[in-house]
Amino acid sequence: MPIQPTFTRRALMAGAAALSLLAAAPASAAEPIKLGLVAALSGQSAKSGEAITRGIELALDKINGAGGVLGRPLELVSRDDESNPGKGLVAARELVQREEVAALIGGLDTPVSMAIVPYMNEAKVPFVGPWAAGTPITMNGAEENYVFRVSAVDEYVDEAITEYLISKYGAKKPGMILINNPWGESNEAGLTKALSKRGMEHAGIEKFESNDVDVVPQLTRLKEAGADSLFLVANVAPSAQVVKSLDRMGWDVPIASHWGPAGGRFTELAGASGEKVHFIQTFLFTDAAHPLFAALQEKYPEIETLADVTPATGIANAYDATLLLAAAIEKAGSTEGPAIREAMYQISGVEGVIKTYDMPFTPDNQDALGPEDYVFSQFVEGEIVPLMD
């Protein structure tokens, strides 16, 4: 039976060769580590969801190009929450239970994030927010908090825009025009606190719905109450309705806004007066030579100028959030949620596009960005630019 030994030797040689090839295989050949994304990828906030997606994808290109994490590539699995809290929660459950993601990124809208937070803490899977700014998202009272954020925080934003109206316009009696949802409630608390700290009173607090097309009655009440400036908190379309209502009234009043108008086609919807709204951002491209802008142009050919990037904040926040998550997974040496959470408190020297992060999270503060990272901006000819003093 001389054939059998020859066959055996060949089989062994083939097996050894296969093992050698596996050992030398790049990270892309290994089973990927999945990261989930839940965001508004359609509707009025689709531009914001697109920005978040692009930021994550650019970060994954960088990470995977350098060998991945734990020798494995990172893979993005996305779901559209349609700005609906119920759909957001269903999407989060599916990504955790069916897709077995190591962590979740997302929450464009505060109500959606607030719906997801309890589940993520219960599931013990890290949830990193690159957009929604509601204060209770990270300050949620959980004994073991799995929610982190690389974004603005309402309470800090409210302090910043209060100081801005006072120092820039000498505001003495600002009024509030707020979207009627948990995001509006979060900012009502923050703005009231900021005014109280200064011994100031507001002219009134008016709420409106996201589908309201006329906000003149609410604005008229604020004007008659003596408002000399306005705080605005709403996303793109409702913010545009506020501006158009002001135009119909002929009321030219200083407006300091949260970053809602930055999320899409604001000036297209609001008209020329949309440029009068000044709002917070955490990052802006001010130079077409920026390396991240060059990467955007290379990956997405439809981006030709800085005006084609709206909003840069969403890209930058998501990009940095992904780098921080990758660093935590690498440090944890594991894709288990509790291990990643503990590692989030230990990472340092992570070079993001907004800044370099050194121990950005602690159990008492799970927000990586603060007021020092904010910049005031406005739309000029469809492009978001920093305000000039």
Domains observed in the chain: 4-152+290-370 (3.40.50.2300), 155-281 (3.40.50.2300)
Question: What residue spans of the chain are helical by DSSP H?
Answer: 3-24, 46-65, 85-97, 110-123, 135-138, 154-169, 182-197, 216-224, 236-249, 266-270, 291-299, 312-332, 337-344
DSSP state of 72: B
The residue whose two tokens read 């009272």 is 141
Q: What is the pLDDT of residue 93?
A: 98
The residue whose two tokens read 């009025």 is 44
Q: What percent of the chain has pLDDT over 70?
A: 92
Lowest mean pLDDT: which of 4-13, 150-159, 252-261, 316-325? 4-13
- Strand 277-281 to 375-380 pairing: antiparallel
Entry pTM: 0.85
Q: What is the pLDDT of residue 3?
A: 40
Cβ neighbours around 26 below 10 Å, total? 11
- With cut-offs at 50, 70 and 90, classify the pLDDT of residue 12: very low
- Return all residues near 24 (Cβ < 8 A) that are at least 6 apart: none
Nearest to 233 by CA among 296, 288, 154, 349: 154
Checking if the pLDDT of 24 tops 70, the result is no
DSSP state of 362: B
- With cut-offs at 50, 70 and 90, classify the pLDDT of residue 188: very high
Q: What is the pLDDT of residues 282-324, one digit of tens each?
A: 999 988 889 999 999 999 999 998 888 878 999 999 999 999 9
Average of per-residue pLDDT values in the chain: 91
Phi/psi zone of residue 84: left (φ > 0), alpha (ψ -120 to 50 degrees), beta? beta
Cβ proximity of 335 and 319 under 8 Å: no
**Residue 102 tokens, joined:** 């190591």
Return d(Cα 264, Cα 281) in angstroms, integer: 14
Q: What is the pLDDT of residue 234?
A: 95
Mean pLDDT, residues 362-379: 95
Q: What is the pLDDT of residue 68?
A: 98
Mean pLDDT, residues 131-159: 95
Checking if the pLDDT of 21 tops 80, the result is no
Q: What is the pLDDT of residues 88-127, one digit of tens each?
A: 999 999 999 999 999 999 988 999 999 999 999 999 999 9
Return d(Cα 290, Cα 29) in angstroms, integer: 32
Q: What is the pLDDT of residue 389?
A: 62
- With cut-offs at 50, 70 and 90, classify the pLDDT of residue 255: very high
Cis? peptide before 311, omega within 30° of 0: yes
- With cut-offs at 50, 70 and 90, classify the pLDDT of residue 29: low
